[in-house]
Amino acid sequence: MKQETLLSISERAGVSITTVSRVLNGKAEKYRISRKTVELVRREAEKCNYKPNIAAQSLRTKRTQTIGLVVPSIENPFFANIASIIIQKAKQAGYTVVLTDAMENEANEQDGVNSLLARNVDGIIISPSGNDPSYLEQINDLKLPVVLIDRFFYNTTLPYVVTDNYRGAVDAVQCLIDNGHSKIACIQGVPHSTPAKERCRGYRDAMTRAGFTSEIDAVGNDFSIQNGYVETRLLLTRHSPPTAIFAMSNTILLGAIKAVSESGLKIPEDISIISFDDNTYLDFLSPPITRIVQPLDEIGTIAIKILLQSIGDGNRSDAKIVLPASLKVRNSIKPVNRSPMNGYGR
Q: Pick out residues in 286-325 that bind a copy of itself (CB under 8 A).
A: 286
- 91: CB partners within 8 A, 6+ apart: 97
Smallest distance from DNA to CB 47, Å? 15
Categorise residue 229: left if φ over 0, alpha if ψ from -120 to 50, beta otherwise: alpha
- Should residue 55 be labelled a site residue for a copy of itself when binding is judged by CB under 8 A? yes
Out of 17, 24, 38, 99, the only residue in the binding site for a copy of itself (CB under 8 A) is 99
Backbone Cα Rg of the chain: 26
- Should residue 54 be labelled a site residue for a copy of itself when binding is judged by CB under 8 A? yes
36 binds, among a copy of itself, DNA, none (CB under 5 to 8 A by kind): DNA
Residue 194 or 224: the one with the smaller Cβ distance to a copy of itself is 224
Residue 29 or 46: the one with the smaller Cβ distance to a copy of itself is 46
Residue 32's Cβ-count burial label (10 Å; 0-12, 13-18, 19+) is: exposed
Residue type, 140: N
5 binds, among DNA, a copy of itself, none (CB under 5 to 8 A by kind): DNA
Binding mask 7-46 for a copy of itself (x = CB under 8 A): ----------------------------------------
Smallest distance from a copy of itself to CB 308, Å? 17
> Dihedral of CA 131/152/246/342: which sign?
positive
- Choose among 230, 166, 189, 169: nearest CA to 104: 189
Residue type, 280: T
Rounded to whole angstroms, how far apart are CA atoms 307 and 314? 10
Rounded to whole angstroms, how far apart are CA atoms 145 and 138? 10
Piece of the chain touching a copy of itself by CB under 8 A; list 48-56, 239-247, 268-276, 316-324: 48-56
**Cβ(79)–Cβ(277) under 8 Å?**
no
Residue 11 or 106: the one with the smaller Cβ distance to DNA is 11
Query: Under the rule (CB under 8 A), what is the footprint of a copy of itself?
Result: 1-2, 51-56, 58-59, 64, 66, 73-75, 77, 80-81, 83-84, 87-88, 91, 96-101, 103, 111-112, 114-115, 117-120, 138, 142-143, 225, 254, 257-258, 261, 280-281, 283-286
